[in-house]
A and B are shown apart, each in its own frame.
Chain A
């Protein structure tokens, strides 16, 4: 098979692209998409470690399944918040949402 480190390298690159998106994008929906990228990269890591190190034990796949649940919940609540903010402020630019800024 393809050596383990290649899967880890792909997942690391995907995670860092997601980090850049979260830090640098201005649109809240784009930030949520970048968070989804990061969660998906984590899942690739979990499944790769499961396949290469403990393939007879289900912990890796079970963890990946829970990450799916968290991703779905996060997307639903995050997009609801974005829509709610857009309704009250007519903007989805995160810099315009600074009520809590000290």
Chain B
């Protein structure tokens, strides 16, 4: 079904990194370990972006997720230090949560896999063309008046508001 070329081997290694890291995040008792697993998982995601020929998003994933968000989480873990090693990792509803997650996964995977047996399922699972838009096109689209300039500005405003809000919330009252 799937020939073994370097691309598919890279896909499997990156998928294992991504999913293994995700399982580590959810199950690790020590949150610092959890943050390291999160970095591994996001790094695997960045590799998947490279395989999907979106190198700019891969770079943003490394810079924003790993460089900023993961470090922010590690800071938060350190500031709430006494809570890192608690006895019970999961709450009392963990088994019903697991049931919900497994059912959701079964539902989604059914929706993904069942159309493959349709009339043109296998043909649709390959890219429609090898002409891929580049990072230049992404940059133009983000500031083009006909495309995404308004969402782009709203996103900038949202980031500013979130930054000010985070400072106000976390500031010590005196």
Residues on A lying within 8 angstroms of B by beta carbon are 1-10, 12-21, 23-27, 29-30, 32-34, 36-37, 40, 43-44, 47-48, 50-58, 61-62, 64-66, 68-77, 79-84, 86-87, 90-95
Query: B109: which of A1, A12, A54 is its contact (CB, 8 Å)?
Result: A12
- Is A29's CB under 8 angstroms from B90's CB? no
Would A50 and B54 count as touching, CB distance under 8 A? yes
B22-A14 in contact (CB<8A): yes
- Once the chains bind, are A2 and B132 in contact (CB under 8 Å)? no
Q: A26-B86, A75-B73 are in contact. List 6 more A-B contacts (CB 8 A).
A: A2-B11, A17-B101, A32-B76, A43-B57, A47-B52, A48-B52
Compute how far the CA of A19 lies from the CA of B105 in the bound complex, rounded to whole angstroms.
10
**A73 to B159, Cβ gap below 8 A?**
yes
Pairs across A and B, CB under 8 Å, 19 listed: A10-B19, A12-B112, A17-B25, A23-B101, A25-B89, A34-B25, A36-B69, A40-B61, A44-B18, A52-B125, A55-B53, A55-B132, A58-B138, A64-B54, A65-B57, A72-B68, A75-B73, A79-B76, A80-B169
Contact B91 A80 (CB under 8 A): no
Residue-wise interface mask of B (15-26) relative to A, using a CB-CB cutoff of 8 A (1 in contact, 0 not):
100110011011
Q: B142 near A56 (CB under 8 angstroms)?
A: no
**A26 vs B38: C-alpha distance in the bound complex, in angstroms?**
17
- Among B18, B25, B163, point to the contact of A76 (Cβ < 8 A): B163
Residue of B nearest to A19 (CB): B101
A93 to B87, CA, bound (A): 12
Q: Which of A32, A58, A70 has the most CB of B within 10 A?
A: A58
Contact B60 A68 (CB under 8 A): yes
Q: By the criterion CB–CB under 8 Å, are B172 and A51 in contact?
A: no
- In contact, B19 and A37 (Cβ under 8 angstroms): no
Contact of A26 among B91, B132, B133 (CB under 8 A): B91
- Cβ–Cβ < 8 Å partners of A7 in chain B: 48, 52
* Cβ-defined contact, B166 with A77, below 8 A: yes
Closest Cβ of chain A to B137, distance in Å, is 6
Complex alpha-carbon distance, A65 and B143, angstroms: 13
Whether B158 lies near A92 (C-beta < 8 A) is: no
* Contact of A57 (CB < 8 Å), options: B80, B133, B166: B133
Q: Contact check: which of A36, A55, A64 meets B57 at CB < 8 Å? A: A64
* Residue from A23, A57, A77 in contact with B169 in the complex, judged by beta carbons closer than 8 Å: A77
